[in-house]
Structure 1
């Protein structure tokens, strides 16, 4: 049984938990009609939280959605309009067709509650700036009030994030009430480690470890075939594919996030088209230009219905991101000569 093993990247944790839930599950559950295999009370640790992407051709991780979701969180948003463009299935979780509820973690963390002027996130940062070795830097997300909503379509899976400043580094412990290991885990770890890195920058600290705990870790039966293909790929390959993910710039602020999202909105609405040269001229660190490149790739796929995405845009992507989009979208693979490079 896994307790708190350490992995070089999220990929190793993902594979280990998939194998555990598939081969050594403790329960077979059918919550709300979703048949699943479940293990209770598991977790893992990442010594380097920046290694937040998996490189598995059978899983086809979506870095465009992952960047969009992380930025949506960091901006404190809950609007369905933006996030459903990248993940249309999220529309079914909205009770009013306008906003999301419990799953809008960023709104809970970064937007002040009604009657307050300071967000939970800023309040915790203030605490950590003044109280050495504090144990109180906990950011609750799940609320008991969510249980009072009849047939709640969007209850928070994230219980909370615990920020711990120790020895000049910012560590984070994430507590999940539940995690869909095949679908939700990868996006959650990507976004939460981005929040951790962003918090470390605001505090002037180095990035510490990321620890992820799950109450109900499960794999839905409907995804069993894909999970089997993923595990077979991992078993059969000679060596894992690995790309080093870069560090977030130490001048990143809320204004940086807002600037990136301004370009995201224009691309999402097809109000602008970017060449590589135009993106490289933006007053924006190359790290965040990568997000704009990804959003331009998606604009071409969605609005231009491109048979092949602009190869210059793909060439400007970080090699790991280029590998991922090349394995997920045919229009990217075509532009790369029939396969990801």
Structure 2
């Protein structure tokens, strides 16, 4: 199966239709599922990495998982703060064996992303810029969680950075939206590190599957219909890693309730400050759920595309101005789409 789309929503819609109508029934360990074996998915506009729907607009959990990876962490308490279901993946109630972070950002041979960037700087046409996540040792003994992702490959062609993710297995409902978000963000980080444009994202999967318990959810997703597109803003030009380190420090402070370190918001570029503010909004909801505090924080955001995720996630109605803006953009997008057909 080959699916090409501009946005994550278009991609998911086509994937779910294919799985629901053509998927082969299988009985894996985690329950009955429909599977398509050997699927290649292409996202031609990687910044359209977030769903705009009610059910798949997973901004906060996606951001939390990305930062867990970038921190090089395998700590359960870190990721469970954003995705509590990860507790089921821990062998010892403290760590997650299959965590990607230590495999990408560890010391020595596990410092893989830095070596990929260095390789492409010295040899822009290299075909060896590959990160390995799944290891032969992962199946020597039982673990509750082993990597679903085998490799990440980066290539520069026509001064654009393209990326190919190869996965042994992918849950199309729970895993796919998170994987596309995290890996396209890593792709953009590498592109900025190399001073090249962001290219296309490809996602190859051995077993692309939809558990039957999620069939009705996928059908409801399809019933939501076409969504207006809103890409994330471009990552700032230049070396992104100092900003990533600052964001990780802020994330740790916010998650641990250390208000003394959140003053670094003011020194961050708007792109990164917005992500830090989203973390603060998430913390505010988890600690007191005060919508006035959330509205106050929301006013600090520079990118207007994040408002719908906040309103939806925290049960807040959009302001009149926000509703009008969304309505106008939706009409413009619908008109443009009609003119193309």
User: Which TM-score band (shorter chain)?
Assistant: 0.7 to 0.9
Q: Which has the larger displacement, 316-325 or 202-211?
A: 316-325
The residue that corresponds to 1:46 in the other structure is 43
Provide the C-alpha distance between the structure 2 equivalents of 1:273 and 1:92, rounded to a whole number of angstroms: 33
Query: Which string of whole-angstrom CA distances, capped at 9 and with x for unpartnered residues, describes residues 118-155 of structure 1?
Result: 711122222212224111111111111111112x2011
SS at match of 1:282: helix
Match of 1:216 among 186, 195, 207: 207
Q: Is the 8 A contact 1:202 1:253 kept in 2?
A: yes
The residue that corresponds to 2:6 in the other structure is 8
Match of 2:82 among 86, 90, 115: 86
Provide the C-alpha distance between the structure 2 equivalents of 1:309 and 1:18, rounded to a whole number of angstroms: 37
Shift of 1:309: 4.6
Provide the C-alpha distance between the structure 2 equivalents of 1:254 and 1:241, rounded to a whole number of angstroms: 32
Q: Which has the larger displacement, 309-318 or 219-228?
A: 309-318
Q: Is the 8 A contact 1:162 1:174 kept in 2?
A: yes
Query: What's the TM-score once normalised by structure 2's chain length?
Result: 0.88
- The equivalences for 1:116-195 within 5 A come to 116=109, 119-150=111-142, 152-195=143-186
Provide the C-alpha distance between the structure 2 equivalents of 1:320 and 1:43, rounded to a whole number of angstroms: 29
Provide the C-alpha distance between the structure 2 equivalents of 1:251 and 1:124, rounded to a whole number of angstroms: 17
Match of 2:106 among 104, 111, 123: 111
Task: State whether structure 2 residue 298 is matched by structure 1 residue 303.
Answer: no
Shift of 1:75: 2.4
The residue that corresponds to 1:101 in the other structure is 97
Structure 1 or 2: more helix by fraction: 2
The residue that corresponds to 2:314 in the other structure is 329
Q: Is the 8 A contact 1:310 1:335 kept in 2?
A: no
The residue that corresponds to 2:15 in the other structure is 17
RMSD: 2.2
Query: What's the TM-score once normalised by structure 1's chain length?
Result: 0.88
Name stretches of at least 5 consecutive residues in structure 1 with no aligned partner: none
Provide the C-alpha distance between the structure 2 equivalents of 1:336 and 1:92, rounded to a whole number of angstroms: 39
Provide the C-alpha distance between the structure 2 equivalents of 1:301 and 1:336, rounded to a whole number of angstroms: 19
Provide the C-alpha distance between the structure 2 equivalents of 1:217 and 1:240, rounded to a whole number of angstroms: 24
Provide the C-alpha distance between the structure 2 equivalents of 1:283 and 1:185, rounded to a whole number of angstroms: 34
Shift of 1:61: 2.1
Name stretches of at least 5 consecutive residues in structure 2 with no aligned partner: 327-341
